Chains A and B, each alone.
Chain A
């Protein structure tokens, strides 16, 4: 499978990564290579084999429903690019 430059631009936009034209060429090649390798893997017959979800035999851990976090406005807002009083402040998003 090959990846064209339009697909690269689309993926970059979805990921909010700005790339220039020269990079488009390189990324198209890189991604194409990865997908070719996936094609090779796809050839393995996995009929009836459940997807592996963990390398170790373990199960999902659940928490009890207790409030033991939060109440940390300053810590949470400390890295905000901008804030207004106790809110995050971001360039206006329309819609």
Chain B
């Protein structure tokens, strides 16, 4: 394994588990009829239930329950027919009830798994410990006033799925791959938008280090890390910190740490011990949640094709390399785009264009597929012109750039610029002949076996034809003429 971290006293292994809070896509909150949209005016999406007025009772949202079931099925997890909501008691101004309604002993979803795709094309299974439903808290603004904290309860009561992995990851790369795959699954299922910048997906990192093969060390929890890159930074930082503590003869303290995205470091939250005495107990306002097995089967039957299934299908029907298929299916829109381009065309050519020039242009422009000036049909049109030899690969790149700038079809640009590839071998042969005659010294070298000079001749021919000759044909003609 290459996951070991070198310390000054020998190699160490990091053991990582992730707790992800994923905001459920629903119109209204988990236990109230207030709206869930992001960015509304402060405290405008708050019901008296969310603000914990006396006597207000929670009523569970059916769609949130079904989203959790759908997600559980997507994680190949066991769905618990009976689960229980409990109160997790703690005081904080963004939680007006003084407790969060969550699930503890009996979560709605039990053990499952996620297959992660690594950069070298290999895959690995990471266990899911559980998924439970709970309420989000409100938002505290600490930086608007020297002595006061301002509280907006719009987010308070919005449904979250807490998805807990097993401590199965061993590196920042694996944690990144896990989050990428989890986010893709949630987006495919439509149960969470996975938008980490808006906080609809947040991760807590549990990490300990040990000597390879030894029992688990003491872990710490780094909270609220809100991008995949930050999770990886937090892992590098925390693994290094723990190794330094242990190598200098200290012991790792089990604690909660807060990550700072600006510095890439974390600091200990020295909360009093009793702050974590949550005194869970079943919420007397809510009976146990019982699920109908027939409804679960209906939800299962309605699941979309998920990333792993799509990946297998892409490998099988389009003969893609696993690493390419994994990149394509990571985003449903991109996968759909590729399928539209590849339909009825050479899949290898389609994938190399989609993943090469097309995604590069998209990233460079920072635009989304929906806004891109070249859609799947237009890119398909370009590939058709390569396939029927109207365009060489090199000319196609030029045409593609022009398409991106103008939004025109490939055919229109070829027409406008007179870019049709010269396929008349006789015409190319005449040009090759002329160049050989004009450059006798180089021709001698080539005949003498200096194959390096071959490229120079191809270049000269391409220049003479303004790039309209097919380089493969030129190569072949040169060899024929020289009897090589």
Contacts and interface: CB of A to CB of B under 8 A. Distances in A.
Interface stretch (B123-131, B271-279, B308-316, B446-454): B271-279
Nearest to B273: A10
Contacts of A89: 145, 148-151
Interface stretch (B1-9, B60-68, B403-411): B60-68
A62 B60 CA distance: 5
Given A70-B44, A76-B46, A90-B151, A65 B274 contact: no
Nearest to A60: B287
B91 interface: yes
B71 interface: no
Interface string B21-61: 00000111000111100000111111111110100000111
Contacts of A79: 53
Given A60-B288, A62-B61, A67-B33, A91 B44 contact: no
A67 B28 contact: yes
A76 B43 contact: yes
Contacts of A60: 60, 286-290
B142 interface: yes
Contacts of B43: 73, 76-77, 86-88
Interface string A56-95: 0011111111111111110111010010111111111111
A53 B371 CA distance: 54
A36 B479 CA distance: 101
Interface residues of B, number: 55
B89 interface: yes
B148 A84 contact: yes
Contacts of B144: 84
B192 to A, nearest CB: 15
A59 B287 contact: yes
B269 interface: yes
Interface centre among A63, A65, A72, by most B CB within 10 Å?
Answer: A65
B140 A70 contact: no
B274 A10 contact: yes
A70 B34 contact: yes
Given A53-B282, A53-B288, A70 B147 contact: no
A49 B148 CA distance: 51
State the majority secondary structure of interface residues on B. Answer: loop
A92 B147 contact: yes
A54 B285 CA distance: 10
Nearest to A84: B150
Contacts of B62: 62-65
B152 interface: yes
Contacts of A91: 147-149
A92 B141 CA distance: 9
B61 A90 contact: no
B93 interface: yes
B349 to A, nearest CB: 45
Interface string A18-56: 000000000000000000000000000000000101100
Contacts of A69: 28, 32-34, 47-49
B92 interface: yes
Interface residues of A, number: 40
Given A65-B27, A93-B142, A14 B89 contact: yes
B48 A87 contact: no
A88 B28 contact: no
B50 to A, nearest CB: 8
Given A66-B27, A68-B28, A70-B35, A76 B153 contact: yes
Contacts of B27: 65-67
B149 A92 contact: yes
Contacts of B140: 93
Contacts of B286: 60
Given A54-B287, A60-B289, A72 B47 contact: yes
Contact of B152 (A53, A67, A87): A87
B153 A88 contact: yes
A91 B293 CA distance: 49
A4 to B, nearest CB: 16
Contacts of A10: 274, 277
Given A65-B27, A92-B147, A76 B48 contact: yes
Interface centre among A13, A61, A92, A94, by most B CB within 10 Å?
Answer: A92
B28 A71 contact: no
A93 B138 CA distance: 14
14 contacts: A51-B282, A58-B287, A60-B287, A65-B26, A66-B28, A67-B33, A69-B28, A69-B47, A73-B44, A88-B150, A90-B93, A90-B149, A92-B149, A93-B142
**10 closest Cβ pairs, A-B complex:** A70-B34, A69-B33, A65-B63, A87-B150, A69-B47, A68-B33, A88-B151, A60-B287, A86-B42, A62-B62
Given A67-B35, A84-B148, 18 more contacts: A14-B89, A60-B286, A60-B289, A62-B61, A65-B27, A65-B28, A66-B28, A67-B27, A70-B33, A70-B34, A70-B47, A76-B46, A76-B47, A76-B153, A86-B41, A90-B149, A91-B149, A95-B271
